[in-house]
Each structure stands twice: as structure tokens, then as C-alpha cells.
Amino acid sequence: MDASSSPARGFGRAAALALAVALAATACTSGGGGSADNAAKSEPPRQGAIDINAKSPDQLRDGGEVRFPLYQWITQWNPFQVDGRYGDAVEIMRELEPNLFTTDETGTFKPVTDYLLEAKVTSTSPQVITYKLNPKAKWSDGKPLGYLDFKADWEASNGRKDGYNIADSSGYELISGVEQGADANEVKVTFSEPYADWQNLFRPLIPAAGIGTADDFNKGWIDKIPVTAGALKVAAMDKTAQTVTLVPDPAWWGAKPKAEKITFRVMSQSATTQAFLNNEIDFAAAGTATAYAQLKDAKDTVIRSASPWDEVHLSFGGGGALADQKVRQALGKALDRSALIKIANNGVPVEFKPLGNHIFMPNQTGYQDNSGEWAKFDLAAARKALDEAGWKEAGSGQPRTKDGQSLTLHFVINESTPQAQVDLATAAQAMWLAAGVKVELDKVPANDFFTKYVNQGKFDIASWRNTDSFPLSTSLTNFRLPQGDNVFGNYSKLGTPEIDGLLKKAAGTIDPVEAAKLYNQADARIWELGHTVELYQRPTVVAARKGLANYGAFGLAGVDYAKVGWEK
């Protein structure tokens, strides 16, 4: 649960989860762009791949409570529903429902044998995946896991059912059939087209009993989790106290969790440092200069760091003046990214390096910098683009005008955003004004930031973190063209058929080298579009209570709350 602002996590981006740092700023681009063929290679960051104080069960004591911060109250718990993508919700749900695969520190998928004994490609034409389920695995209503659950998840998420407000159809839309295999513990999933990242599907698996109708799918998981199948279960959701408490499930068939309970308590990100120092929580983000300075020498505290799939960016809306690609491109060129990154990095012990890719992190194979001219600070070029878009200069310190309207944009900011990120937004505001674009910073309540603004696309400029966006195919949801009212994870609502085609082709390319070429071609077009200005890969820098085991900075690895506990 890394936090420092506001994050969104898709099932791979996302989504992922840990919590976020909300910046805010404006920038969009379009026009010619960085060439994916002549891109600069990046150095891997210095911090390690994973830092969690890994301990075996026999090194942990039985019992005890582990207390984590939660940065907003979670209302929608269905991770397949469009409002259920919030990072912490996805992370917690992967503990309470069958998470068929987890990832190691390299981002490689590994089957979770408590649920899945084996899963492999058993045919390539067509592509068929055969899953062999652990016969001990059962839902909390007593029913065994089976092919009907896979079938229900596929049918709910493939985009063909009316009324199902899905988060992402990637992969599911390519499945042509789900059926029982040789026995009740075997499931066969057939694809109409090759899909390289099939291991990221059904993560987690949701019970058929909970999503049988559109109403169940959209509303049946609001403020409740009707059916579970994990080592932990929900003991209480106290909306008044703003706490969620997990305890070991006595019906669990695997290794018993060590901790007696895990408690998540909602608090603003700015409050976590003092809460940790007051011994109210056992884990806090230390990724800002202020937090790090207060936590690094605190009693019984260990600082941990790693390189996750975690990016900080500035997103632009596609309405009003920003409907013009040249305006978005101008905003991107008016930004001095290196200066902005220094503001965010000031006082933090790990270097924040510029990020030149929307899909790959610098420590992933296939990364290259595709930002080209679109992220190069060039104030003269920014002014020229605005001239060409018809926005006339109105004098120093004044917004440009066109058809009697001033070029004034609104940057929506989470009110609990750390001061360093407010400083970053303020610096970006000044950079844009130098080009003739007035940007007003609008602070909104933390609980409204995503639900009422970002998710609704009600922003000119906004900033949040995207986390855990791997495997690579999950990037489609963040950049694909909306379909009707469904924007998937593309809250800017900006896209092109070319980008969709490249991302879909890459997702169906089994050869990772060829797939990387396609993803990088798509990334170059995303930069050109002026959709998002990437700033940096955000290292995880966290403070953990001394003795806390199997939790900390995970890098590309998955979290397993059932293994979290206290050293003997």
C-alpha cells in the first residue's frame, strides 16, 4: 500500500494497487511524434527488485494485528466493474477471492497452487488453455470452484452483455468458449484469436453466484462482498469508523495465516506519517521529502524501496480547447519535465528518473523512450503550436484568446495531495502561463477525486498514478477508444483506431520481441496524440514497523496478505 496521493489501478495497471500520489497538471500533444524505431534505451533504477523482509512461516509468531492505511472508503468491491478499479480494492479482492496467478519480483506469473494446480496452453490453433483446479478450493457458500465461474466471468466481461458496466474487456472479448474439461476440476478456455497474456485473466476469479445479472454485477458488490474464497475473510466493514477488518477464514484449506487480523483504516495521505509515528498504523509511504525526513530515523522503523510498475503522469481531457490536438501538444512542450521531477524528488533518497513510455517501465524488458519531441521542453514550439491553433497572445502573464474566449483550463487536484505535488502542479501552472495558457488549480474532496471527476472525465488536467499495469495487454484499457458511455480506463476519452489496432495486435503476438515492437509503436502514437505526459517511474519508498514480515516494497511482485505477520 504505497501512497502519496491518488492512484488508479487497472487489472494490470492498476491498477494496480498500492496507493497513489496525485499530482496534477495539464498537457496533451498530437501531431508528429517520437519514433519507436529510434528510441533511447533506459538504465534500470538503482533500487532493488523487492524489499519485503521475506520470512518463512516458522520464523513468524502466531497472532497479532497488522494495521494498514486506506486512502479512501471503498464502495464498489467488484473488480470487474468500472468503479471497482481503485488500487486498494483490487489488491484486497485478490486476497479474498481466488487469485489464480501471482507475480514474482521479475513480473513473471506463477500459479497459486491453493487454487490452481496447473494451467497451460494445450492447443495453439485455436488457442486453448486448460486449467486444473485444486479440488479443495471452495467458495464461502460451500460450492466448489468450477467452469461455471469462469464462464460467468467471461460472459460478464466480454462486452457483449447489455447493462454490464465493465472495467476492461481485454482478453475476455477474444474468448470464444468456456467448458468443463475431463472432470469437474478441469476448465477449458478457447480463444478466437491468440492472446499472449491469458494468465492475467480471471484475476481474481469472481463467483458466478455474484454476477448472474447486470444488477448483481453493478450493485451487488456495493459496500459488501457477497461470496469469498480466500485465506482471509471480512470480519467487519465499519463505514462510521472507516475501517475494514480481515481475519483468517476457518474454512480455508491452505496454510493458515499468521496474523490474527489485518485492519485497514481510512485516513488522508497527509495523516499517515503522524499515524505511523503515533503507532496507530504499521506501514506508511515515505516517498515524499517531508514523510521521509520524519520517518527515516523513527524508532522501530525500517525504510524499504523497490521498483514497481508505478508511473506518475499528467492527463488531459479531450473537451473544450483541449479537443484540439495542437493545444494538447503545446501543453506538453511547455513543460520542463526535469524541473518538475526535481520538485517531486527533492529530499527523497531514491532518484526519480524521467519516464519515456506509457506501457513499459525502465526495468522491464522492451522499454524504450518514445517521447520524442512531445516531452521535450521547447517554449517557442509551444507558442507556435498555440498560434497555429488560433489562440492569439494577449500580453505577458495573460491567457491567450480565440473568438472572444480566454485559454483558461482547470487542473483538478485531490485535496489530500502532498505539498510536494501541489508545488509540482504550481510549477507546471507557471510554465503553461509562460506559453499563454492560464490554469486554475481546483482542489476537490479526496473521496470525490476519482468517482466524481476522474472516472467521469470531468477535468481539463488531472494527475494520478497508474500502478501494476502488467502484463502489457492491460494497457489497452487505458488508451482504447470509448464505446458509448463506457470509457474503460481511458478517462481522457482520447484515442485513435490506429492505437487500438496496434495494442490489440500486440496482445495477440506470442513472440515477446515482436510484441514489444508493436507496443512501442503504439506508445509513440500515444505520445503524439497528447493523451498523457509521463513524468517518472515512481519508486516505492515506504516505512515499515520493525519486525513486520513479508510486506514492504514489492516491485513487480504480487502481495500475499496471508503471509504477512510479525517476526518471533
Domains in the chain: boundaries = 7-45+309-537, 57-93+222-307+541-566, 101-219
Superfamily of domain 57-93+222-307+541-566: Periplasmic binding protein-like II (3.40.190.10)
What CATH topology corresponds to 7-45+309-537? Dipeptide-binding Protein; domain 3 (3.10.105)
pLDDT in tens, the chain (568 residues): 333 344 543 333 233 222 233 333 222 222 333 344 444 343 333 356 899 999 999 999 999 999 999 999 999 999 999 999 877 899 999 999 999 999 988 788 999 999 999 999 999 999 999 999 999 999 999 999 999 999 999 999 999 999 999 998 889 999 999 999 999 999 999 999 999 999 999 999 999 999 999 999 999 999 999 999 999 999 999 999 999 999 999 999 999 999 999 999 999 888 999 999 999 999 999 988 889 999 999 999 999 999 889 999 999 999 999 999 999 999 999 999 999 999 999 888 888 889 999 999 988 889 999 999 999 999 999 999 999 999 999 998 999 999 999 999 999 999 988 888 899 999 999 999 999 999 999 999 998 999 999 999 999 999 998 887 778 888 988 999 999 888 988 999 999 999 999 999 999 998 889 999 999 999 999 999 999 999 999 888 999 999 999 999 998 889 999 999 999 9
Q: How far apart are CA 560 and CA 52, in angstroms?
A: 11
- Nearest C-alpha neighbor of 115 from the set 568, 566, 567, 562: 562
Radius of gyration from C-alpha coordinates of the chain: 23
Beta bridge partners of 51: 553
Q: How far apart are CA 560 and CA 174, in angstroms?
A: 30
In one letter, which amino acid is 13? R
- Nearest C-alpha neighbor of 556 from the set 495, 464, 449, 470: 470
What CATH topology corresponds to 101-219? Dipeptide-binding Protein; domain 1 (3.90.76)
Set of cell numbers at residue 451: 468517482
Could you tell me if 286 and 542 are in contact, meaning their C-beta atoms sit under 8 angstroms apart? yes
